[in-house]
Amino acid sequence: MISHFFLITLPFKSFCSSFKNFVVVLNNNNTKSFWYPLDNAAKIYPAIQNDELTNVYRIAVVLKERIKIAHLINILPKLEERFPYYKVTLKKGFFWYYLEQTNTPFQLIVDKSILCRAFDQKRNERLLFRILVIKNRISIEFSHILTDGGGAFRFLQYFLLLYFQQGGIDVREQLNEFVVNPKDFHEEFVDSYKEYFKKEVPPNFKRPKSFHLPFPLNRKPRFDVLVAVMPLDEIKKVAQDKEVNITVYLIALYLYVLQDIHKTLPEYSRNKKNKILRIQVPVNLRNIYPSKTMRNFSLFVMPEIDLRLGHYTFDEIIKIVYHKIQLETDEKLINKIIARNVGGERKIIVKGIPLFLKSLLLNYKYYSMGANQYSGVVTNIGKINLPEAVEKKIDHFILTPPPPNKKLKINCGIAGFKNNLVLSFGNITISKEFEKKFLNFLVQQRINVKLSKY
Amino acid sequence: MGYCKNCGVALDENIDLCPLCGLNPDEESPSFEKIMLKETENTKSYPRFDRLTKKQRLTFFWELSGIILLSTIIITSLIDFIINKSITWSKYSITVSLVLLVNTTLFTFLRKRQFIFLIFSFLSTALLLMLFDWYSQNNGWAIQLGIPLLFSFYFWVFLIAIITKYNKHHGLNILAYYFLATGFFTLCIDGIIAFYQTKVFQLQWSIIVFACLILISGILLYIHYRLKKEIFLKRFFHI
């Protein structure tokens, strides 16, 4: 329906003029504002979110020079033109939430508040993302309702190209990659889960509960972030020595540290706790399917070790993680997970439940089928590549995952840029034992780890 | 090129105010802790009623009403005891004061937890009715008439509270919901009284009241949702 709306309203003269017209149509108060339903992954977030579990993540870019505020202000209208589908606010329907166009302009905010805080509509925060600026750091915070890290990062890429273009750097070639044929524009905000859903595929099975860290929670606001910067070549070398990539190495280390913490628990507590250690690793499905969507399109693979089978050496864990990731990123298995997620949403009985009841059910499902099933999250945005002239201006990127829930307690975001690998540990507990063990292990491998705090 | 001392961004030379934070680039904004400290100091030096927070005001109101109600209990029971050498008429004022005290306490400390507040408020008021029934020959009107009426009242109040809380647009629609709830409450009153008197559940006058209120509510809802604010039914009801 939405695609037809755009196809009818967009003139097909040239790309630029069509986008301008498109935005005029969207901004015209006499015209019905456009809207779209939440995608399959986003549907759960409004039901579970609160002041602590915000589902807001951050990608920060630290520049080598102070930010030129005039340049930033100049590029905001261009961003609005290019990403009109992010100029939306969350609305409650009778059966589902949906996103509706808002007239609130894209804004810059001084980055002096709590990280990844919730979007508060009562405080007139109608958009579901924010751009934060301080000294030489630009950060974007997106609600997962709007998009995942893949979508947000592409937004940030365009943002940076425009910003540096204002500073006189020639990035026309790279900006051309963002030009989209008006006919294909709707592809950027389709729900790709539905697009690639196969009805005949059987849904995925439910996994047994996993171990959770026993640390006591922080006082509110709980979320705290520790940033560790290390040379990419050094960690690449130690990973290559084990014949795996950095992601596999760090996931294995995450499991190894969890095992270590599990082992040091008092006997009674150790026996009582679940003995399956499982890590949730988001996978960008745009790398598997030819989707151009700028909304959520990622799923998770979950490498695991079962401590009931005995103690695992680090090498054994690496082997398991490597093979598990290879297996679970297979398109057929991904289809199975999509079938489970989308299949549930398509059931008429689920569709017909009023929103307030649905929210209660989704909240329960989030913990029973979500948070209970994994012990940690490692999300890696990968190595970020930008034009050489732009790269010279940037020091590093930081990916901060959304504040973990009360069961998960700690998570980790990874971003690589030039020779910097930045780990960002989100933590809602009073303990830093996990981070200490994790980073100590890396230091023992002769990796120079530099710590910093947001 | 200058820098803003507050947010640290670079500014062009001809800019007087930082476009990001709105402050003079040379001016450093006070930290959050400093602002809070200043606020606290201000509160300490001016402990006036109009400077109290809502919570402080409510606590103050609760303390004051507590003192008044407890004084009422003591004074009336003393007078009653001195005159009659036992507790006779003062049991009414003691019961009412105690129930009022319970309700003001509930309101002060549980007003945000509406469900619990209403349950305890209902229970305390129901107890009041039962005690009054017991004091006056115990003929059972509290259980057969008083408590059902009270329950229906609390039920509709609870429903209205929930609707008001979760309704983002407060306008004529809220008034319409009040009318609707009143309509349903009149049906309950009529039905319960009829059942108490004749042991048959039948509705008479309340149907006329209900029909009028439905009509008024319908008009109000129409004005609110169709004329003042358009609701896009397709998106609202999309499944």
Helix (H) or strand (E) holding A328: helix A314-328
Residues 217-236 in B contacting A (C-alpha not used; CB under 8 Å): 232, 235-236
Domain span at residue A410?
Answer: 224-453
For residue B75, the surrounding DSSP H or E stretch is: helix B54-84
Does B1 share its domain with B16?
A: yes
pLDDT reported for residue A12: 35
- β-strand partners of A89: A100
Question: Dihedral sign, CA of A424, A427, A432, A435?
Answer: negative
Residues of B in contact with A68 (CB under 8 A): 9-10, 12
Q: Do residues A142 and A295 touch, judged by C-beta distance below 8 A? A: no
- DSSP for A117-154, written as a single string: PPP-GGGT--SSEEEEEETTEEEEEEETTT--HHHHHH
Contact: A69, B236; criterion CB under 8 Å? no
A437, part of any domain: yes
**Are A69 and B9 a contacting pair at CB < 8 A?**
yes
Higher pLDDT, A266 or B2: A266
What is the Cα–Cα distance from B134 to A326, expressed in whole angstroms?
77
Q: For A325, left (φ over 0), alpha (ψ -120 to 50), or beta? A: alpha
Question: Is residue B39 scored above 50 in pLDDT?
Answer: no
Would an 8 Å CB–CB cutoff place B165 in contact with chain A?
Answer: no
Distance from CA of A436 to the nearest CA of B (A): 30
Q: Which of A32, A73, A110 sits opposite B232 (nearest CB)?
A: A32
CA gyration radius for chain A? Answer: 22
Are B62 and B89 found together in one domain?
yes
Residue B25 in any domain: the answer is: yes
| Count of domains observed in chain B | 2
Q: Is residue A333 part of a domain?
A: yes
The amino acid sitting at B177 is: Y
Structurally, how many domains does chain A consist of? 1
The answer to whether residue A312 is domain-embedded is: yes
Q: Residues B59, B108: one domain?
A: yes
Residue A410 domain-assigned (yes or no): yes
Question: Over 80: is that where the pLDDT of B34 sits?
Answer: no
Put simply, whether A5 touches B (Cβ < 8 Å) is no
In a domain, A74, yes or no: no
Write out the residue range of the structural domain in which residue B72 sits.
52-112
* Structural tokens at position B72: 């009422």
CA of B108, closest CA in chain A: separation in Å? Answer: 24
- Residue B41 pLDDT greater than 60, yes or no: no
Whether residue B65 is contained in a domain is answered as yes
User: What per-residue confidence (pLDDT) applies to B139?
Assistant: 78
CB–CB of A38/B235 below 8 Å?
no
What tens digit of pLDDT does each residue of B113-135 get? 888 888 999 999 999 999 988 88
Are residues B104 and B68 both part of a single domain?
Answer: yes
Query: Is B19 an 8 Å CB contact of chain A?
Result: yes
Q: What is the CATH number of the domain that holds A345?
A: 3.30.559.30
Q: Is B20 inside a domain boundary?
A: yes
Please judge whether A37 and B238 are an interchain contact, meaning their C-beta atoms are less than 8 angstroms apart.
Answer: yes
Domain-located, residue B70: yes
Q: Residue B7 and residue A134: Cβ atoms within 8 Å? A: yes
Structural domain includes residue A190: no
Q: Which of B6, B8, B238 minimises the CB distance to A66?
A: B8
Do B5 and B36 fall into the same domain? yes
> Minimal Cα distance from A100: which residue of B?
B235
A403 assigned to some structural domain: yes
Q: What is the pLDDT of residue B24?
A: 79
Alpha helix ranges (H) inside B85-204? 90-110, 114-135, 141, 147-166, 172-198
Instruction: Please tell me the number of Cα atoms within 13 Å of A371 on its side-chain side.
Output: 21
Number of CB atoms found within 10 A of residue A72's CB: 20
Percent with pLDDT over 70 in chain B: 81
Picking from A73, A135, A351, the nearest residue to B239 by CB comes out as: A351
* pLDDT for the residue numbered A127: 94
| Most B CBs within 10 Å, among A69, A126, A135, A138, to test the B interface | A69
> Which of chain B's residues have a Cβ under 8 Å away from the Cβ of A356?
166
Q: What is the pLDDT of residue B33?
A: 46
- Kindly state whether residues B25 and B58 are assigned to the same domain: no
Question: pLDDT category, B29, cuts 50, 70, 90?
Answer: low
**A351 interface with B at CB cutoff 8 Å:** yes
> Residues of B numbered 185-224 whose beta carbons fall under 8 angstroms of chain A's beta carbons: which are they?
none
Per the document, the length of chain B is 239
Looking at residue A9, its pLDDT comes to 35
pLDDT for A26-64, tens place per residue? 444 445 678 999 999 999 999 999 889 999 999 999 999
- Chain length of chain A: 454
Kindly write down the DSSP assignment for every residue of A149-212, as one continuous string.
HHHHHHHHHHHHHHHHHHTT---HHHHHTT---GGGGGGGGS-HHHHT--TTSPPPPPPPP---
Residues of A within 8 A of B7 (CB-CB) are 110-112, 133-135
A347 touches chain B (CB under 8 A): no
Q: Tell me the pLDDT tens digit for each residue of B139-187.
A: 788 888 999 999 999 999 999 888 888 877 777 788 889 999 999 999 9
Measured CA to CA, the distance from residue A414 to residue A380 in angstroms comes to: 5
pLDDT along chain A (454 residues), means of 10: 36 38 42 82 91 94 94 94 94 90 92 90 84 95 95 95 94 91 87 84 76 91 91 95 96 96 88 91 92 93 94 96 91 84 81 88 83 92 93 95 94 95 94 91 91 76
* Minimal C-alpha gap between B11 and chain A (Å): 6
Q: Do B3 and A32 touch (CB under 8 A)?
A: no
Residue A64 touches chain B, beta carbons under 8 Å: no
Q: What is the rounded distance in angstroms from the CA atom of residue A16 to the CA atom of residue A181?
A: 10
Which chain A residues have a beta carbon less than 8 Å from that of B237?
93-95
**How much is the pLDDT for B164?**
83
Integer Cα distance of A189 and A85 in angstroms: 7
Residues B1, B18: one domain?
yes
CA dist B109 and B58 (Å) reads 9
The contacts of residue A317 (CB under 8 Å, 6+ apart) are: A252, A255, A256, A259, A305
- Residue tagged 């939405």 (tokens): A2
Q: Is A449 contained in some domain?
A: yes
Contact B21 A108 (CB under 8 A): no
Residue B8 touches chain A, beta carbons under 8 Å: yes
Instruction: Chain A: give the shortest CA distance to residue B200, in Å.
Output: 36
Does B10 contact A37 at a Cβ distance shorter than 8 Å? no
